[in-house]
Amino acid sequence: MNAVPRRISPLLHPKNFNRTHISTQISRGFKISASRRALDLAFDYHENGGKATGAPIVFLHGLFGSKKNNRSMSKALSRDLDRPVYALDLRNHGDSPHDKNHKYTALADDTEQFLQQHNLKDATLIGHSMGAKTAMTVALRNPDSCANIIAVDNAPVDAALASDFPKYVMGMQKVEEAKVKTAKEADKILEAYAKDLPVRQFLLLNLIKSPDPSVDHLVFRIPVRILGHSLDDMADFPFTDPDKHQFTKPALFVRGTKSHYVSDETLPIIGRFFPRFQLVDVESGHWVISENPEAFRRAVVEFLQEQD
């Protein structure tokens, strides 16, 4: 990738990373710890009509998301790269099972088991936000499990989530308490906790008709209280010593220019954990893939084509 000159913090050494800016116009065998219980994950499979025969891509969504969020991008990457794409529902999301343990080590357990169960070798792990930290966790503790990773708008550091996330949880709890029967009712309640309509629409994708025929109101398919209690865990990162854990294979970090999750100050620590990392700036907020899909797609395609 071609680096674009840009003023950087004096804390950074230019040899530690590569940077590319994309504007809105461009648009083997391994083991899982027996001490933890991995869950079987739901997934969608995209193979470009059977034409995708390359190494697999595994897509990991963010908090409150699901495999559906990445459907269009998964199809596009499968088409452009001739590679099959597995879009997962992480635990406590989508159609995957629920569990009180929602830490990154548990999310990584599930992901590693999925790779093993489906015999996915030389895979690329792409993760956004929570999914990004999950991909980083897998790569650092089990480097043989994947060929490279793409981390979208998150860094391998302990960093508080945006204050909006507790509000979202509170709003969803209020929706649950109201026992609404329509999405319109839910949206009206949620508006006090999430002002932006796209955010409310994203959260309300989790609101479904109850599978229990005796329940006549809508329910969230995600365990709102479990995820609410796990927000502090989602802010943490399980590794603190890059001298003990490194992923020396290629890694791409994609950050939104209007987001705070991957600041310049985090780049040196990214470089220590992932010494071969490249950085791409995409003009967007935290929701990089939905806000600027074309720029994200081009960044991923270019990076992965370089690896071929």
Residue 2 has pLDDT above 50, yes or no: no
Residue 162 has a pLDDT of 67
User: What is residue 36's predicted lDDT score, i.e. its pLDDT?
Assistant: 64
* pLDDT score for 160: 74
* Residue type at 86 in one-letter notation: Y
Mean pLDDT of all residues belonging to the chain: 88
Residue range 146-170: mean pLDDT, rounded? 91
Higher pLDDT, 307 or 175: 175
pLDDT in tens, 94-114: 999 999 999 999 999 999 999
The residue with greater pLDDT, 106 or 18, is: 106
User: Start-end ranges of CATH 3.40.50.1820 in the chain?
Assistant: 14-158+238-307
**Helix residue ranges, H only, 210-292:** 224-229, 231-235, 267-273, 288-291
Beta strands in the chain (DSSP E): 18-22, 43-46, 57-60, 85-88, 124-128, 148-152, 207-209, 218-220, 251-256, 277-282
pLDDT (mean) for 9-38: 40
In CATH terms, is domain 14-158+238-307 a member of 3.40.50.1820? yes
Catalytic residues: 129, 286
Summarize pLDDT for 212-239 with one digit per residue, the tens: 999 999 999 999 999 999 999 999 999 9
Tell me: pLDDT of 31 over 80: no
List, in sequence order, every residue forming a beta bridge with 256; answer none if it has no partner: 282
> Which of these ranges, 2-6, 14-18, 227-231, has the smallest mean pLDDT?
2-6
Strand 124-128 with 148-152, pairing = parallel
Residue 159 has pLDDT above 90, yes or no: no
pLDDT at 306: 93
pLDDT tens profile 188-206: 999 999 999 999 999 999 9
pLDDT at 124 over 90: yes
> Tell me: the pLDDT tens digits for 236-294?
999 999 999 999 999 999 999 999 999 999 999 999 999 999 999 999 999 999 999 99
| Mean pLDDT computed over 158-184 | 91
Confidence (pLDDT) at 4:
33
Global confidence as pTM: 0.88
Whole-angstrom distance between the N-terminal and C-terminal Cα of the chain?
14
Question: How many whole angstroms separate alpha carbon 271 and alpha carbon 165?
Answer: 28
Q: What is the pLDDT of residue 32?
A: 39
> Which amino acid type is present at position 155?
A
Confidence of residue 30 (pLDDT cuts 50, 70, 90): very low
